Chains A and B, each alone.
Chain A
Protein backbone atom coordinates (compact mmCIF):
# COMPACT_ATOMS: atom_id res chain seq x y z
CA UNK A 1 0.00 0.00 0.00
CA UNK A 2 1.45 3.31 -1.00
CA UNK A 3 0.68 6.26 1.17
CA UNK A 4 1.74 9.82 0.85
CA UNK A 5 5.17 10.26 2.54
CA UNK A 6 3.72 12.99 4.74
CA UNK A 7 0.87 10.80 5.99
CA UNK A 8 3.30 7.97 6.56
CA UNK A 9 5.59 10.23 8.58
CA UNK A 10 2.64 11.43 10.65
CA UNK A 11 1.45 7.90 11.37
CA UNK A 12 4.90 6.82 12.43
CA UNK A 13 5.37 9.93 14.54
CA UNK A 14 2.17 9.27 16.45
CA UNK A 15 2.94 5.58 16.69
CA UNK A 16 6.45 6.08 18.01
CA UNK A 17 5.37 8.72 20.49
CA UNK A 18 2.65 6.43 21.76
CA UNK A 19 5.11 3.54 21.95
CA UNK A 20 7.66 5.65 23.80
CA UNK A 21 5.10 7.17 26.15
CA UNK A 22 3.43 3.87 26.99
CA UNK A 23 6.75 2.23 27.53
CA UNK A 24 7.98 5.00 29.77
CA UNK A 25 4.79 4.78 31.81
CA UNK A 26 4.46 1.03 32.02
CA UNK A 27 8.12 0.25 32.45
CA UNK A 28 7.89 2.15 35.72
CA UNK A 29 5.06 -0.18 36.66
CA UNK A 30 7.07 -3.22 35.50
CA UNK A 31 10.08 -2.01 37.41
CA UNK A 32 8.08 -1.55 40.59
CA UNK A 33 6.35 -4.89 40.23
CA UNK A 34 9.59 -6.65 39.35
CA UNK A 35 11.43 -5.08 42.25
CA UNK A 36 8.57 -6.02 44.52
CA UNK A 37 8.63 -9.65 43.43
CA UNK A 38 12.38 -9.87 43.88
CA UNK A 39 11.96 -8.41 47.35
CA UNK A 40 8.98 -10.65 48.03
CA UNK A 41 6.47 -7.85 48.23
CA UNK A 42 3.38 -7.23 46.11
CA UNK A 43 4.17 -3.80 44.75
CA UNK A 44 1.55 -1.38 43.46
CA UNK A 45 -1.87 -2.97 43.86
CA UNK A 46 -4.33 -0.25 44.79
CA UNK A 47 -4.94 1.76 41.61
CA UNK A 48 -6.72 -0.44 39.14
CA UNK A 49 -6.35 -4.19 38.81
CA UNK A 50 -2.86 -5.18 40.05
CA UNK A 51 -2.00 -1.50 40.13
CA UNK A 52 -2.22 -1.21 36.36
CA UNK A 53 -3.55 2.33 36.54
CA UNK A 54 -0.68 3.39 38.77
CA UNK A 55 1.32 5.03 35.95
CA UNK A 56 -1.73 7.08 35.07
CA UNK A 57 -2.14 8.18 38.66
CA UNK A 58 1.55 8.99 38.92
CA UNK A 59 1.39 10.98 35.72
CA UNK A 60 -1.64 12.92 36.91
CA UNK A 61 0.04 13.62 40.20
CA UNK A 62 3.20 14.89 38.54
CA UNK A 63 1.25 17.06 36.12
CA UNK A 64 -0.86 18.69 38.80
CA UNK A 65 2.18 19.63 40.88
CA UNK A 66 3.78 23.01 40.61
CA UNK A 67 6.94 23.23 38.54
CA UNK A 68 9.20 25.01 40.97
CA UNK A 69 11.91 27.15 39.47
CA UNK A 70 14.12 28.02 42.43
CA UNK A 71 15.99 31.30 42.75
CA UNK A 72 19.43 31.27 41.26
CA UNK A 73 18.79 28.77 38.51
CA UNK A 74 19.27 29.55 34.85
CA UNK A 75 15.54 29.58 34.21
CA UNK A 76 15.58 29.08 30.45
CA UNK A 77 18.03 26.19 30.45
CA UNK A 78 16.38 24.74 33.52
CA UNK A 79 13.08 24.46 31.65
CA UNK A 80 14.69 23.39 28.41
CA UNK A 81 16.79 20.51 29.75
CA UNK A 82 14.02 18.00 30.54
CA UNK A 83 12.31 18.66 27.22
CA UNK A 84 15.55 18.13 25.34
CA UNK A 85 16.23 15.01 27.38
CA UNK A 86 13.21 13.36 25.79
CA UNK A 87 14.41 14.06 22.26
CA UNK A 88 17.34 11.70 21.68
CA UNK A 89 15.37 8.62 22.67
CA UNK A 90 12.49 9.58 20.40
CA UNK A 91 14.76 10.27 17.44
CA UNK A 92 16.62 7.01 17.95
CA UNK A 93 13.37 5.04 17.91
CA UNK A 94 12.71 6.38 14.40
CA UNK A 95 15.53 4.36 12.89
CA UNK A 96 14.94 1.13 14.83
CA UNK A 97 13.66 -1.64 12.53
CA UNK A 98 10.86 -3.39 14.39
CA UNK A 99 10.38 -5.78 11.47
CA UNK A 100 11.30 -5.80 7.83
CA UNK A 101 8.40 -3.54 7.01
CA UNK A 102 7.96 -1.68 10.26
CA UNK A 103 10.59 1.00 10.40
CA UNK A 104 9.92 4.71 10.45
CA UNK A 105 12.96 5.72 8.50
CA UNK A 106 15.68 3.67 6.93
CA UNK A 107 19.12 5.24 7.02
CA UNK A 108 22.53 4.20 5.86
CA UNK A 109 24.24 5.13 9.13
CA UNK A 110 21.39 4.51 11.52
CA UNK A 111 23.57 2.81 14.18
CA UNK A 112 25.84 5.81 14.20
CA UNK A 113 22.86 8.14 14.46
CA UNK A 114 21.74 6.46 17.65
CA UNK A 115 25.17 6.89 19.22
CA UNK A 116 25.31 10.50 18.16
CA UNK A 117 21.98 11.17 19.81
CA UNK A 118 22.94 9.23 22.93
CA UNK A 119 25.66 11.83 23.42
CA UNK A 120 23.05 14.55 23.10
CA UNK A 121 21.17 12.85 25.92
CA UNK A 122 24.24 13.16 28.08
CA UNK A 123 24.40 16.86 27.22
CA UNK A 124 20.85 17.29 28.50
CA UNK A 125 21.84 15.81 31.83
CA UNK A 126 24.76 18.22 31.96
CA UNK A 127 22.44 21.08 31.02
CA UNK A 128 19.93 20.19 33.69
CA UNK A 129 22.61 19.80 36.34
CA UNK A 130 24.33 23.00 35.37
CA UNK A 131 21.18 25.07 35.15
CA UNK A 132 20.00 23.87 38.57
CA UNK A 133 22.84 25.69 40.27
CA UNK A 134 22.84 22.99 42.93
CA UNK A 135 26.05 21.42 44.17
CA UNK A 136 24.66 17.91 44.13
CA UNK A 137 23.37 18.45 40.60
CA UNK A 138 26.68 19.73 39.34
CA UNK A 139 28.66 16.85 40.84
CA UNK A 140 26.13 14.51 39.33
CA UNK A 141 26.25 16.01 35.87
CA UNK A 142 30.03 15.96 35.74
CA UNK A 143 29.89 12.32 36.78
CA UNK A 144 27.38 11.63 34.03
CA UNK A 145 29.62 13.20 31.41
CA UNK A 146 32.76 11.30 32.37
CA UNK A 147 30.76 8.11 32.63
CA UNK A 148 29.16 8.46 29.22
CA UNK A 149 32.45 9.38 27.57
CA UNK A 150 34.15 6.38 29.08
CA UNK A 151 31.47 3.94 28.03
CA UNK A 152 30.87 5.21 24.54
CA UNK A 153 34.29 4.02 23.46
CA UNK A 154 33.96 0.29 24.24
CA UNK A 155 30.38 0.41 23.01
CA UNK A 156 31.42 1.76 19.63
CA UNK A 157 34.32 -0.69 19.46
CA UNK A 158 31.92 -3.59 19.81
CA UNK A 159 29.64 -2.08 17.19
CA UNK A 160 32.62 -2.03 14.84
CA UNK A 161 32.93 -5.80 15.23
CA UNK A 162 29.35 -6.09 14.02
CA UNK A 163 30.04 -3.68 11.20
CA UNK A 164 33.00 -5.81 10.16
CA UNK A 165 30.87 -8.93 9.99
CA UNK A 166 27.87 -7.41 8.31
CA UNK A 167 29.65 -4.73 6.36
CA UNK A 168 27.11 -2.07 7.12
CA UNK A 169 26.04 0.37 9.80
CA UNK A 170 22.46 0.27 8.61
CA UNK A 171 20.42 -1.34 11.36
CA UNK A 172 18.02 -2.83 8.82
CA UNK A 173 20.86 -4.46 6.90
CA UNK A 174 22.34 -5.75 10.11
CA UNK A 175 19.02 -7.33 11.07
CA UNK A 176 18.39 -8.71 7.58
CA UNK A 177 21.82 -10.34 7.65
CA UNK A 178 20.82 -12.31 10.76
CA UNK A 179 17.54 -13.74 9.49
CA UNK A 180 17.05 -17.41 10.07
CA UNK A 181 17.41 -19.51 13.17
CA UNK A 182 19.44 -18.98 16.32
CA UNK A 183 22.77 -19.73 14.67
CA UNK A 184 22.40 -16.94 12.17
CA UNK A 185 22.19 -14.34 14.90
CA UNK A 186 25.33 -12.36 15.49
CA UNK A 187 25.57 -13.60 19.06
CA UNK A 188 25.58 -17.28 18.04
CA UNK A 189 26.86 -16.89 14.51
CA UNK A 190 28.33 -20.16 13.31
CA UNK A 191 29.38 -18.77 9.96
CA UNK A 192 32.97 -17.57 10.24
CA UNK A 193 33.25 -18.92 13.82
CA UNK A 194 32.00 -15.65 15.26
CA UNK A 195 30.24 -17.55 18.03
CA UNK A 196 33.68 -17.81 19.65
CA UNK A 197 34.13 -14.11 20.33
CA UNK A 198 30.72 -12.59 19.91
CA UNK A 199 29.63 -13.27 23.47
CA UNK A 200 32.42 -10.99 24.68
CA UNK A 201 31.09 -8.23 22.46
CA UNK A 202 27.61 -8.90 23.71
CA UNK A 203 28.53 -8.74 27.38
CA UNK A 204 30.57 -5.58 26.86
CA UNK A 205 27.79 -4.00 24.86
CA UNK A 206 25.17 -4.94 27.43
CA UNK A 207 27.19 -3.57 30.35
CA UNK A 208 27.90 -0.41 28.39
CA UNK A 209 24.25 0.07 27.55
CA UNK A 210 23.40 -0.17 31.25
CA UNK A 211 26.09 2.38 31.99
CA UNK A 212 25.01 4.65 29.14
CA UNK A 213 21.45 4.73 30.40
CA UNK A 214 22.64 5.53 33.94
CA UNK A 215 21.06 2.46 35.43
CA UNK A 216 22.12 0.72 38.62
CA UNK A 217 24.75 -0.48 39.39
CA UNK A 218 26.09 2.43 37.34
CA UNK A 219 23.57 5.04 38.44
CA UNK A 220 26.29 7.34 39.66
CA UNK A 221 24.53 10.38 38.29
CA UNK A 222 21.45 9.77 40.41
CA UNK A 223 23.22 8.08 43.34
CA UNK A 224 20.36 8.62 45.73
CA UNK A 225 22.26 8.02 48.95
CA UNK A 226 25.12 10.29 47.96
CA UNK A 227 23.76 13.02 45.75
CA UNK A 228 20.12 13.03 46.85
CA UNK A 229 18.73 12.83 43.30
CA UNK A 230 21.70 14.10 41.33
CA UNK A 231 20.84 16.30 38.39
CA UNK A 232 17.12 15.94 39.15
CA UNK A 233 17.42 17.31 42.69
CA UNK A 234 15.87 20.69 41.89
CA UNK A 235 13.26 19.40 39.50
CA UNK A 236 9.67 18.96 40.48
CA UNK A 237 6.46 18.15 38.65
CA UNK A 238 6.75 17.20 34.98
CA UNK A 239 10.34 18.45 34.79
CA UNK A 240 11.21 15.49 36.94
CA UNK A 241 8.67 13.36 35.09
CA UNK A 242 10.26 14.06 31.73
CA UNK A 243 13.70 13.12 32.99
CA UNK A 244 12.29 9.87 34.31
CA UNK A 245 10.51 9.18 31.03
CA UNK A 246 13.69 9.93 29.13
CA UNK A 247 15.53 7.41 31.29
CA UNK A 248 13.05 4.68 30.45
CA UNK A 249 12.92 5.54 26.76
CA UNK A 250 16.71 5.31 26.71
CA UNK A 251 16.44 1.85 28.22
CA UNK A 252 14.03 0.84 25.47
CA UNK A 253 16.38 2.22 22.82
CA UNK A 254 19.29 0.38 24.42
CA UNK A 255 17.34 -2.87 24.42
CA UNK A 256 16.21 -2.34 20.82
CA UNK A 257 19.77 -1.74 19.74
CA UNK A 258 21.04 -4.83 21.55
CA UNK A 259 18.27 -6.93 20.03
CA UNK A 260 19.01 -5.64 16.54
CA UNK A 261 22.77 -5.90 16.73
CA UNK A 262 23.12 -9.24 18.49
CA UNK A 263 19.84 -11.07 18.74
CA UNK A 264 18.74 -11.09 15.13
CA UNK A 265 16.21 -8.26 15.26
CA UNK A 266 12.81 -9.67 14.41
CA UNK A 267 14.11 -13.16 13.59
CA UNK A 268 12.67 -16.15 15.39
CA UNK A 269 15.11 -18.44 17.19
CA UNK A 270 13.67 -21.46 15.36
CA UNK A 271 13.16 -19.76 12.05
CA UNK A 272 9.37 -19.69 12.42
CA UNK A 273 7.14 -16.73 11.64
CA UNK A 274 9.58 -13.88 12.02
CA UNK A 275 7.95 -10.56 12.80
CA UNK A 276 7.78 -7.60 15.14
CA UNK A 277 6.41 -9.81 17.93
CA UNK A 278 9.76 -11.55 18.25
CA UNK A 279 11.48 -8.19 18.37
CA UNK A 280 9.20 -6.95 21.11
CA UNK A 281 9.67 -10.18 23.06
CA UNK A 282 13.43 -9.81 22.85
CA UNK A 283 13.50 -6.22 24.00
CA UNK A 284 11.31 -7.00 26.97
CA UNK A 285 13.50 -9.92 27.99
CA UNK A 286 16.47 -7.57 27.84
CA UNK A 287 14.63 -4.89 29.77
CA UNK A 288 13.64 -7.38 32.43
CA UNK A 289 17.29 -8.38 32.75
CA UNK A 290 18.22 -4.74 33.22
CA UNK A 291 15.60 -4.42 35.94
CA UNK A 292 16.78 -7.66 37.53
CA UNK A 293 20.36 -6.41 37.58
CA UNK A 294 19.32 -3.11 39.11
CA UNK A 295 17.60 -4.79 42.03
CA UNK A 296 20.46 -7.14 42.75
CA UNK A 297 23.65 -5.12 43.05
CA UNK A 298 24.88 -2.21 45.09
CA UNK A 299 26.19 0.84 43.28
CA UNK A 300 29.81 1.15 42.25
CA UNK A 301 32.03 4.20 42.73
CA UNK A 302 32.86 6.68 40.02
CA UNK A 303 36.56 5.80 39.85
CA UNK A 304 35.85 2.06 39.81
CA UNK A 305 33.38 2.69 37.04
CA UNK A 306 35.95 4.55 34.98
CA UNK A 307 38.57 1.91 35.77
CA UNK A 308 36.21 -0.78 34.58
CA UNK A 309 35.82 1.01 31.30
CA UNK A 310 39.42 2.02 30.65
CA UNK A 311 41.17 -1.00 32.13
CA UNK A 312 38.78 -3.83 31.33
CA UNK A 313 36.19 -2.95 28.73
CA UNK A 314 38.38 -1.06 26.28
CA UNK A 315 41.31 -3.51 26.22
CA UNK A 316 38.92 -6.42 25.91
CA UNK A 317 36.92 -4.83 23.13
CA UNK A 318 40.10 -3.87 21.28
CA UNK A 319 41.42 -7.44 21.42
CA UNK A 320 38.00 -8.69 20.48
CA UNK A 321 37.96 -6.34 17.51
CA UNK A 322 41.35 -7.63 16.34
CA UNK A 323 40.24 -11.25 16.61
CA UNK A 324 37.00 -10.54 14.77
CA UNK A 325 38.89 -8.72 12.06
CA UNK A 326 41.18 -11.74 11.77
CA UNK A 327 38.24 -14.12 11.55
CA UNK A 328 36.58 -11.99 8.89
CA UNK A 329 39.80 -11.70 6.92
CA UNK A 330 41.01 -15.29 7.03
CA UNK A 331 37.88 -17.43 7.22
Chain B
Protein backbone atom coordinates (compact mmCIF):
# COMPACT_ATOMS: atom_id res chain seq x y z
CA UNK B 1 0.00 0.00 0.00
CA UNK B 2 2.90 2.36 0.71
CA UNK B 3 4.04 1.83 -2.86
CA UNK B 4 0.62 2.94 -4.04
CA UNK B 5 0.82 6.31 -2.26
CA UNK B 6 4.45 6.76 -3.13
CA UNK B 7 3.70 6.19 -6.80
CA UNK B 8 0.98 8.79 -6.70
CA UNK B 9 3.03 11.48 -4.99
CA UNK B 10 6.41 10.81 -6.54
CA UNK B 11 4.71 10.28 -9.89
CA UNK B 12 2.78 13.54 -9.70
CA UNK B 13 5.97 15.36 -8.76
CA UNK B 14 7.90 13.86 -11.68
CA UNK B 15 5.11 14.78 -14.06
CA UNK B 16 5.10 18.38 -12.83
CA UNK B 17 8.89 18.56 -13.15
CA UNK B 18 8.55 17.42 -16.73
CA UNK B 19 5.98 20.11 -17.45
CA UNK B 20 8.23 22.74 -15.87
CA UNK B 21 11.15 21.73 -18.09
CA UNK B 22 9.21 21.74 -21.33
CA UNK B 23 7.46 24.92 -20.25
CA UNK B 24 10.80 26.60 -19.75
CA UNK B 25 12.08 25.41 -23.09
CA UNK B 26 8.98 26.91 -24.71
CA UNK B 27 10.30 30.40 -24.03
CA UNK B 28 13.88 29.79 -25.03
CA UNK B 29 15.25 30.71 -28.44
CA UNK B 30 15.12 28.46 -31.46
CA UNK B 31 18.23 26.36 -32.06
CA UNK B 32 17.59 25.00 -35.52
CA UNK B 33 19.41 26.19 -38.60
CA UNK B 34 16.99 27.60 -41.17
CA UNK B 35 18.68 25.83 -44.01
CA UNK B 36 17.72 27.42 -47.31
CA UNK B 37 17.79 30.87 -45.73
CA UNK B 38 20.97 30.33 -43.77
CA UNK B 39 23.89 28.77 -45.58
CA UNK B 40 25.67 26.17 -43.46
CA UNK B 41 29.21 26.98 -42.42
CA UNK B 42 31.48 24.37 -43.91
CA UNK B 43 34.48 23.23 -41.90
CA UNK B 44 37.93 23.34 -43.46
CA UNK B 45 38.06 19.60 -44.04
CA UNK B 46 34.61 19.40 -45.55
CA UNK B 47 34.33 16.62 -48.10
CA UNK B 48 32.34 17.52 -51.15
CA UNK B 49 32.93 15.69 -54.42
CA UNK B 50 36.50 15.86 -55.66
CA UNK B 51 37.70 18.36 -58.20
CA UNK B 52 40.93 19.05 -60.04
CA UNK B 53 43.36 21.71 -58.92
CA UNK B 54 44.61 23.95 -61.69
CA UNK B 55 48.08 25.38 -61.94
CA UNK B 56 48.27 28.84 -60.36
CA UNK B 57 49.52 30.49 -63.56
CA UNK B 58 48.40 28.44 -66.52
CA UNK B 59 45.21 27.00 -65.07
CA UNK B 60 46.12 23.61 -66.52
CA UNK B 61 45.48 20.66 -64.18
CA UNK B 62 48.33 19.65 -61.94
CA UNK B 63 47.57 16.03 -62.72
CA UNK B 64 50.36 13.94 -64.20
CA UNK B 65 48.11 10.94 -64.94
CA UNK B 66 49.80 8.59 -62.49
CA UNK B 67 46.47 6.80 -61.95
CA UNK B 68 47.00 6.51 -58.20
CA UNK B 69 43.59 7.97 -57.42
CA UNK B 70 41.92 5.56 -59.78
CA UNK B 71 43.64 2.64 -58.11
CA UNK B 72 42.92 3.87 -54.59
CA UNK B 73 39.22 4.32 -55.18
CA UNK B 74 37.24 1.56 -53.45
CA UNK B 75 34.21 1.96 -55.66
CA UNK B 76 35.89 2.54 -59.00
CA UNK B 77 34.24 5.84 -59.69
CA UNK B 78 37.25 7.59 -61.22
CA UNK B 79 38.19 7.19 -64.89
CA UNK B 80 40.97 9.27 -66.37
CA UNK B 81 42.93 9.30 -69.57
CA UNK B 82 46.08 11.14 -70.55
CA UNK B 83 48.46 11.49 -73.42
CA UNK B 84 52.13 12.25 -73.85
CA UNK B 85 52.76 15.95 -73.34
CA UNK B 86 53.54 18.02 -76.46
CA UNK B 87 56.87 19.00 -74.93
CA UNK B 88 57.70 15.34 -74.77
CA UNK B 89 58.22 15.36 -71.01
CA UNK B 90 55.61 13.67 -68.83
CA UNK B 91 51.94 13.17 -69.55
CA UNK B 92 48.99 15.56 -69.57
CA UNK B 93 45.41 14.87 -68.62
CA UNK B 94 42.88 14.63 -71.43
CA UNK B 95 39.77 13.57 -69.51
CA UNK B 96 38.86 13.02 -65.90
CA UNK B 97 35.43 11.50 -65.25
CA UNK B 98 33.96 11.12 -61.80
CA UNK B 99 30.95 8.91 -61.27
CA UNK B 100 29.59 10.64 -58.19
CA UNK B 101 26.67 8.21 -57.84
CA UNK B 102 28.99 5.55 -56.43
CA UNK B 103 31.45 7.79 -54.61
CA UNK B 104 31.49 7.34 -50.83
CA UNK B 105 33.56 10.44 -50.07
CA UNK B 106 36.20 8.42 -48.26
CA UNK B 107 39.01 10.69 -49.37
CA UNK B 108 41.42 7.92 -50.33
CA UNK B 109 41.93 9.45 -53.81
CA UNK B 110 42.84 12.86 -52.43
CA UNK B 111 45.28 11.28 -49.99
CA UNK B 112 46.84 9.10 -52.68
CA UNK B 113 47.61 12.12 -54.87
CA UNK B 114 51.24 13.15 -54.59
CA UNK B 115 51.04 16.03 -57.05
CA UNK B 116 48.50 18.36 -55.42
CA UNK B 117 46.08 17.70 -58.25
CA UNK B 118 42.91 16.78 -56.34
CA UNK B 119 40.94 18.34 -53.57
CA UNK B 120 37.44 18.25 -52.17
CA UNK B 121 35.05 20.82 -53.52
CA UNK B 122 32.90 22.78 -51.10
CA UNK B 123 29.73 22.04 -52.93
CA UNK B 124 27.21 20.59 -50.51
CA UNK B 125 23.92 20.93 -52.32
CA UNK B 126 24.28 19.14 -55.62
CA UNK B 127 20.94 17.55 -56.42
CA UNK B 128 19.31 16.44 -59.63
CA UNK B 129 16.52 14.31 -60.99
CA UNK B 130 18.81 12.82 -63.61
CA UNK B 131 21.68 10.61 -62.58
CA UNK B 132 23.67 11.68 -65.62
CA UNK B 133 24.26 14.95 -63.83
CA UNK B 134 26.52 13.05 -61.47
CA UNK B 135 28.70 11.69 -64.25
CA UNK B 136 30.99 14.64 -63.84
CA UNK B 137 33.58 15.81 -66.28
CA UNK B 138 36.09 17.38 -63.95
CA UNK B 139 38.18 18.80 -66.82
CA UNK B 140 35.21 20.82 -67.99
CA UNK B 141 34.57 21.90 -64.44
CA UNK B 142 38.13 23.13 -64.09
CA UNK B 143 37.84 25.07 -67.35
CA UNK B 144 34.68 26.73 -66.12
CA UNK B 145 36.38 27.68 -62.88
CA UNK B 146 39.30 29.11 -64.81
CA UNK B 147 36.95 31.27 -66.84
CA UNK B 148 35.30 32.58 -63.72
CA UNK B 149 38.64 33.73 -62.41
CA UNK B 150 39.46 37.33 -63.25
* Chain B associates with chain A: yes
Q: Whole-angstrom distance between the alpha carbons of A41 and B34 in the complex?
A: 9
Give 1 or 0 for each of B22-48: 1 = CB within 8 Å of chain A CB.
110111111110100000000000000
User: Which residues in B have their C-beta under 8 angstroms from that of A301?
Assistant: none
User: Which residues in B have their C-beta under 8 angstroms from that of A39?
Assistant: 25
- Cβ < 8 Å to B, chain A residues 29-50: 34, 37-42
User: Which residues in B have their C-beta under 8 angstroms from that of A293?
Assistant: 19
Say yes or no for B15: interface residue by CB 8 A criterion: yes
Say yes or no for A103: interface residue by CB 8 A criterion: no
Q: Is the CB of B22 within 8 A of A38?
A: yes
Closest to A36 in B: B30
Q: Is the CB of B34 within 8 A of A38?
A: no
Q: Whole-angstrom distance between the alpha carbons of A296 and B19 in the complex?
A: 6
Closest to B31 in A: A40
Say yes or no for B18: interface residue by CB 8 A criterion: yes
Say yes or no for B8: interface residue by CB 8 A criterion: yes
Given contacts A297-B15, A312-B8, contact A40 B22 (CB under 8 A): no
Say yes or no for A295: interface residue by CB 8 A criterion: yes
Closest to A289 in B: B19
Q: Is the CB of A42 within 8 A of B15?
A: no
Q: Is the CB of B28 within 8 A of A40?
A: yes
- Cβ < 8 Å to B, chain A residues 297-317: 297, 311-312
Say yes or no for A292: interface residue by CB 8 A criterion: yes
Closest to A315 in B: B4
List the count of A-B residue pairs having beta carbons below 8 Å apart: 34
Q: Whole-angstrom distance between the alpha carbons of A34 and B22 in the complex?
A: 11
Q: Is the CB of A41 within 8 A of B19?
A: no
User: Which residues in A have their C-beta under 8 angstroms from that of B27?
Assistant: 37
A40 CB contact (under 8 Å) in B8, B29, B34: B29
Closest to B37 in A: A45
Q: Whole-angstrom distance between the alpha carbons of A312 and B8 in the complex?
A: 9
User: Which residues in B have their C-beta under 8 angstroms from that of A297?
Assistant: 15, 18
A292 CB contact (under 8 Å) in B23, B29, B30: B23
Closest to B36 in A: A46
Q: Whole-angstrom distance between the alpha carbons of A196 and B27 in the complex?
A: 33
Q: Whole-angstrom distance between the alpha carbons of A297 and B15 in the complex?
A: 8
User: Which residues in B have their C-beta under 8 angstroms from that of A296?
Assistant: 18-19, 21-22
Closest to A46 in B: B36
- A165 → chain B closest CB, angstroms: 25
- B10 → chain A closest CB, angstroms: 14
User: Which residues in A have their C-beta under 8 angstroms from that of B21?
Assistant: 296
Q: Is the CB of B18 within 8 A of A42?
A: no
User: Which residues in B have their C-beta under 8 angstroms from that of A292?
Assistant: 19, 22-23, 26
A41 CB contact (under 8 Å) in B15, B23, B30: B30
- B126 → chain A closest CB, angstroms: 23
Closest to B7 in A: A312
Q: Is the CB of A38 within 8 A of B25?
A: yes
User: Which residues in B have their C-beta under 8 angstroms from that of A41?
Assistant: 30-32
Q: Is the CB of B22 within 8 A of A295?
A: yes
User: Which residues in A have their C-beta under 8 angstroms from that of B32?
Assistant: 40-42
- Cβ < 8 Å to B, chain A residues 17-32: none
User: Which residues in B have their C-beta under 8 angstroms from that of A34?
Assistant: 26
Q: Whole-angstrom distance between the alpha carbons of A37 and B25 in the complex?
A: 7
User: Which residues in A have their C-beta under 8 angstroms from that of B30?
Assistant: 40-42
- B122 → chain A closest CB, angstroms: 27
- A121 → chain B closest CB, angstroms: 26
Q: Is the CB of A42 within 8 A of B34?
A: yes
In the A-B complex, the 9 residue pairs with the closest CB atoms: A296-B22, A40-B31, A296-B18, A38-B22, A37-B26, A41-B32, A38-B26, A40-B30, A42-B30
- Can you list 21 A-B contacts with CB-CB less than 8 angstroms, sorted by A residue number? A37-B25, A37-B27, A38-B22, A38-B25, A38-B26, A39-B25, A40-B28, A40-B29, A40-B32, A41-B30, A41-B31, A42-B30, A42-B32, A42-B34, A292-B19, A292-B22, A292-B23, A292-B26, A293-B19, A295-B22, A296-B22
In addition to A37-B26, A39-B25, A292-B22, 10 A-B residue pairs with Cβ atoms within 8 Å of each other are A37-B25, A38-B26, A40-B29, A40-B30, A40-B32, A41-B30, A42-B32, A292-B19, A292-B26, A296-B21
